[in-house]
């Protein structure tokens, strides 16, 4: 054991916990050889649908040393977003991750503090941080860093925390003591596969992005195909079905992050109010939240699709 690598690994894990992260795992930067074939096959089958950006930067996705030359360690962090109270309403449903403030902003703020601590304690360390914002295979690094395993629904699962957490990464040009991968604990359970109304989970750990409700309600900018009507179960932005039915999520604990607290308007507005909402009112209500991404017109298209008007 290298004492410096061991000490630094312990330090960054403690600092991350102090900042509100739930887990911090470390892996050695390397080329993701196994993921290369899987990603290429997934793209060739068209499982990414209209998400053509997934075809870009293929080499960068597979090797963090191309994202940041000199990278030696990949630090993976998780940040809990499971709500204290789920939104109960007669209106439309949105994914739990979108209840409050935009997670990109919240977690980036934490990462900046963490990186400042690293540089203050260790000297001039070269780093780059990511929160769902660059061509990096987050789930692959989460597995290699030991924070969880890939469940049959394609999400990272933890025995102690379930799957309602965000992933973030920091690339570093220093060596740190690495962690070990954890065992797959899904067993023979197929609840997520059975519950998916669009059959997007076509095989264990294989998700067809072009059939996912989250894809239709967030990513797809074209008109929604009519043959998908009646299969969304009132989901207007994202979908939590495969996570809600997962037995491991009975261990999910409410987040302590006040910036993820649900916005009041989700509980106040009925379906009729959402369908008649004006553009400026919508913009004001969703400002600073993940729903900004859908824009007023896209969000209304989702609602009209749910109501059978498209």
Catalytic (active-site) positions: 132
| Residue 206 structure tokens | 């294989």
Dist. CA 61–CA 287, nearest whole Å: 31
| 182: Cα within 13 Å, side-chain hemisphere | 20
Alpha carbon 171 to chain centroid distance?
18
* 212: three-class secondary structure by DSSP: coil
Dist. CA 211–CA 176, nearest whole Å: 40
* 240: three-class secondary structure by DSSP: coil
Dist. CA 54–CA 272, nearest whole Å: 36
């Amino acid at each position: 054991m290298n004492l410096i690598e061991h000490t630094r690994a312990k330090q960054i894990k403690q600092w991350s916990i102090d900042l509100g992260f739930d887990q911090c795992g470390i892996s050695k930067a390397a080329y993701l050889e196994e993921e290369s074939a899987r990603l290429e096959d997934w793209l060739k089958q068209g499982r990414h649908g209209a998400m053509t950006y997934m075809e870009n930067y293929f080499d960068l996705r597979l090797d963090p040393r191309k994202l940041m030359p000199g990278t030696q360690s990949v630090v993976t962090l998780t940040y809990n977003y499971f709500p204290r109270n789920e939104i109960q309403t007669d209106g439309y449903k949105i994914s739990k991750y979108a209840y409050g403030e935009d997670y990109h902003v919240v977690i980036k703020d934490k990462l900046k503090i963490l990186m400042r601590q690293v540089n203050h304690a260790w000297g001039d360390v070269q780093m780059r941080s990511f929160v769902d914002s660059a061509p990096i295979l987050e789930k692959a690094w989460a597995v290699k860093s030991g924070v969880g395993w890939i469940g049959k629904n394609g999400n990272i699962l933890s025995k102690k925390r379930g799957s309602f957490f965000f992933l973030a990464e920091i690339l570093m040009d220093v060596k740190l003591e690495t962690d070990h991968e954890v065992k797959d604990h899904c067993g023979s359970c197929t609840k997520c596969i059975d519950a998916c109304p669009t059959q997007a989970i076509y095989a264990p750990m294989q998700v067809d992005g072009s059939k996912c409700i989250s894809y239709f309600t967030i990513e797809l900018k074209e008109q929604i195909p009519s043959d998908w009507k009646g299969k969304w179960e009132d989901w207007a932005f994202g979908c939590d079905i495969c996570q809600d039915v997962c037995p491991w999520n009975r261990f999910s604990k409410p987040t302590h992050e006040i910036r993820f607290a649900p916005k009041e308007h989700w509980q106040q507005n009925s379906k009729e109010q959402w369908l008649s909402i004006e553009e400026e009112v919508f913009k004001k209500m969703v400002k600073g939240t993940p729903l900004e991404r859908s824009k007023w017109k896209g969000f209304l298209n989702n609602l009209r699709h749910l109501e059978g008007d498209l």
